[in-house]
Structure 1
Amino acid sequence: GYAFDHEGSKKLVFTLKEPPSNSSRSSNFEVKGYFPDKDCIIVDPSGNIVAQIGVKKEIEDLMESKDLYHIVVKPGIDQAFIAGVIATLDYIYGESTRC
Structure 2
Amino acid sequence: MRRSTDVVPIVSKLYCSSSPTLLMIRKRPVVVNGGGFVVTDSSHKVVFVVDGCGKLGTKGELMVNDGEGESILYIHKKGGIVQALTARSKWSGYSVDYQGQNRLVFSLTDSKSCFASNSAIRISIEPKGQSNFSWDFYINGSFVDKAFTIIDRNNRIIAQVEVQEFIGSKDMYQVWVQSGYDQAFVIGIIAVLDNIFGESTSC
TM-score w.r.t. the length of structure 1 is 0.71
- CA offsets, 1:46-85, max 9 Å, x none? 110000001000011xx4xx22111000000000000001
Measure, in 1, the Cα distance between the counterparts of 2:184 and 2:132: 26
Measure, in 2, the Cα distance between the counterparts of 1:84 and 1:52: 14
Residue in structure 2 matched with residue 96 of structure 1 by the alignment: 200
> How many correspondences in the alignment?
90
Divergent runs of 4+, >4 A: 6-9, 17-20
Unaligned runs of 5+ in 2: 1-50, 63-73, 76-91, 93-106, 110-123
- CA offsets, 1:16-73, max 9 Å, x none? 37777xx74344211101110001111011110000001000011xx4xx22111000
Is the partner of 1:53 in helix, strand or coil? strand
Tell me, yes or no, if the aligned pair for 1:28 and 1:45 is still in contact at 8 Å: yes
Which amino acid in 1 is paired with 2:151?
Answer: V
Residue in structure 1 matched with residue 174 of structure 2 by the alignment: 70
Tell me, yes or no, if the aligned pair for 1:67 and 1:95 is still in contact at 8 Å: no
Measure, in 2, the Cα distance between the counterparts of 1:38 and 1:93: 11
Tell me, yes or no, if the aligned pair for 2:52 and 2:201 is still in contact at 8 Å: no
TM-score w.r.t. the length of structure 2 is 0.37
Which amino acid in 1 is paired with 2:181?
Answer: I
Residue in structure 2 matched with residue 81 of structure 1 by the alignment: 185
**Whose relative contact order is higher, 1 or 2, with alpha carbons under 8 Å and at least 6 apart?**
2
Is the partner of 2:201 in helix, strand or coil? coil
Unaligned runs of 5+ in 1: none
Map 1:1-99 to 2 at 5 A: 13-14=74-75, 15=92, 16=107, 24-60=132-168, 63=169, 66-97=170-201
